[in-house]
Amino acid sequence: MTLDILVPIILTVVGSATPLLFAALGELVVEKSGVLNLGVEGMMIMGAVAAFGVAVSTGSGTLGIVAGAAAGMAMAFVFGVLTLTLAANQVATGLALTIFGLGLSALLGAGFVGIPVAPLAKLAIPGISDLPVIGPLLFAHDALVYLSLAAVVGVAWFLKKSRAGMILRAVGESDISAHSIGYDVIAVRYRAVLFGGAMAGLGGAFLSLSYTPLWNEGMTAGRGWIALALVVFATWRPWRLLAGAYLFGGVTILQLYSQGAGVAIPAQVLSMLPYLATILVLTIIAAGPWKGRLDAPACLGKPFRPST
């Protein structure tokens, strides 16, 4: 009985959390390398328009996904050239990237308004997907949902276990030391920034191909900003990020659900809940036994140029 209610709610939460998870996970890697890219919203919306445009033009959702990631990367490349090669200020460049992306996407997408696209296919496994509860919860999503979850595992492994991940963290903690022992700081950061762009692009692609398979100007509606906040929420840890994205998505759905159920609290107050809950939970974590561990990469946001 309760499961009948819970399962659809959880499915809605998955949709709401997945774009946030993609974008935030990318940004987490970027920030771990010591770079702060506030242009997530701009990369995301470019991913959304590119994915939609290509999917509509070619009829292939897969090509659309690839295009979304590529568009995010292209935007990230612009960011990289400015902040890494030319050592421009990262915060301002990121914000400028968002302005640029919102404008460019509107320009490119003008011809796609009002056109539907076939949503991404669900990867259903005959028999298993029809099982009660487990079937819809675990075996009836589209490829991007699984990819986002796999990416959490992948990023967690990469940062903690792989050598490249260790170098990336070293670059984020102390660029000068990393440089002096022979690592190419700029190259490492370029790779991280491009990865971040691709992930933001995938988040955008999920929006325009799966979540709401349509294109509209400004359809990211501020999700890039939430993704940025979630990285902080997660204290730069992939698994906590997963929890954060689902918490935020969950509370959002919960408040919509409460409105529909007629809870006697003003709608505006209910709408504040996701934001307040995120602050509250982070405070509880910070005040708990982990106290004092902010874990922000030491070089976050600081420009670096090798003295060659």
Partner 1 sequence: MSNNVSRRHFLAGSTAAAGALSLGGASAFAADPLKVGFVYVGPVGDFGWTHGHDLGRKAIEKEFGDKVETTFVEKVAEGPDAERVIRQLASSGNKLIFTTSFGFMNPTIKVAKQFPDVKFEHATGFMTAKNVSAYNARFYEGRAVIGTMAGHMTKTGKFGYIASFPIPEVVMGINAFILAARKVRPDAEIKVVWVNSWFDPGKEADATKTLIDQGCDIITQHTDSPAPIQTAGSRGVWCFGQASDMSSFSPEYHATAILDVWDNYYVERTRAVMDGSWETSNVWQGMKEGMVQMSPYNERLPAEVVEAAETVRKGILDGSYLPFAGPIKDQDGKERIAAGEAMDDGALLSMDWYVEGVTA
Partner 2 sequence: MSPDPGLLNPAAWKIEPRREIPRSLLYATPLLAVVLTVIAGFFIFLFMGYDPLLSLYHFFISPLLTLYGLSELMVKAGPLIMIGVGLAVGFRANVWNIGAEGQLTLGAITGGVVALAFWNETGWWILPLMCGAGILGGMAYAAIPAFLRTRFNVNEILTSLMLTYVATLFLSTLVYGPLKDPMGFNFPQSRMFSDSGLLPILLEGTRLHLGSGLAIAIAVAGWVLMTYTIVGFQVRVLGQAPAAARYAGFSGKRLVWFCLLLSGGLAGLAGTFEVAGPIGQLIPVISPGYGFTAIIVAFLGRLHPLGIILSGLVMALSYIGGENAQVVVGLPQAVTGVFQGLLLFFLLASDFLVRYRIRRRAIQAAPDGQTQAAEGAS
Q: Which residues bind partner 2 (CB under 8 A)?
A: 78, 82, 86-89, 91-93, 95-97, 99-107, 110, 174-176, 179-180, 217, 225, 228-229, 232-233, 266, 268-269, 271-272, 275-276, 278-279, 282-283, 286-287, 291-294, 296, 298-299, 302-308
What is the Cα–Cα distance from 282 to 170, expressed in whole angstroms? 26
Contact 5, 190 (CB under 8 A): no
* Closer residue to partner 2 in complex, CB, 11/95: 95
Q: Scan residues 200-259 and list those touching partner 1 (CB under 8 A).
A: 207, 211-214, 216-219, 221, 223, 252-253, 256-257, 259
Outline where the chain has alpha helix (H): 2-32, 40-58, 61-80, 90-109, 134-138, 143-161, 163-173, 175-180, 185-206, 223-233, 238-260, 267-287
- Interactions with partner 1, residue window 9-68 (CB under 8 A): 9, 11-12, 15-16, 19
Query: What is the per-residue binding string for partner 1 in 115-144, x denoting contact by CB under 8 A?
Result: xx--x-------------------------
Q: Does 1 bind partner 1 (CB under 8 A)?
A: no
Residue 99 in the binding site for partner 1 (CB under 8 A): no
Report in angstroms how near the CB of residue 225 gets to partner 1 at its nearest: 13
Cβ 1 to partner 2 shortest distance, Å: 34
| Least separation in angstroms between CB 223 and partner 2 | 12
Sole binder of partner 1 in the list 1, 2, 114, 294 (CB under 8 A): 114
C-beta closer to partner 1: residue 150 or 221: 221
Give CA angle at 256 (250, 258), nearest 5°. Answer: 100
109 binds partner 1 (CB under 8 A): yes
Q: Which of 226, 235, 250 is nearest to 288 (CA)?
A: 235
Find all residues with CB under 8 Å of 79, minimum gap 6, and list them: 37, 39, 93, 94, 97, 193, 197
Contacts of 97 (CB under 8 A, 6+ apart): 37, 38, 39, 42, 43, 75, 78, 79
Minimum CB distance to partner 1, residue 191 (Å): 30
- Pick 140 or 245: Cβ nearer partner 2: 245
Binds 218, which of partner 2, partner 1, none (CB < 5 to 8 A, cut-off by type)? partner 1
Question: Tokens standing for 49?
Answer: 């328009």
If DSSP codes are grouped into helix, strand and coil, which group holds residue 142? strand
C-alpha pair distances (Å), 9 with each of 135, 258, 265, 298: 15, 12, 20, 39
Q: CB of 121 within 8 A of CB of 142? A: yes
Amino acid at 140: A
The helix/strand/coil state of 303 is coil
Return residues touching partner 1 (CB under 8 A).
5, 8-9, 11-12, 15-16, 19, 106, 109-110, 113-116, 119, 207, 211-214, 216-219, 221, 223, 252-253, 256-257, 259-262, 267-268, 271
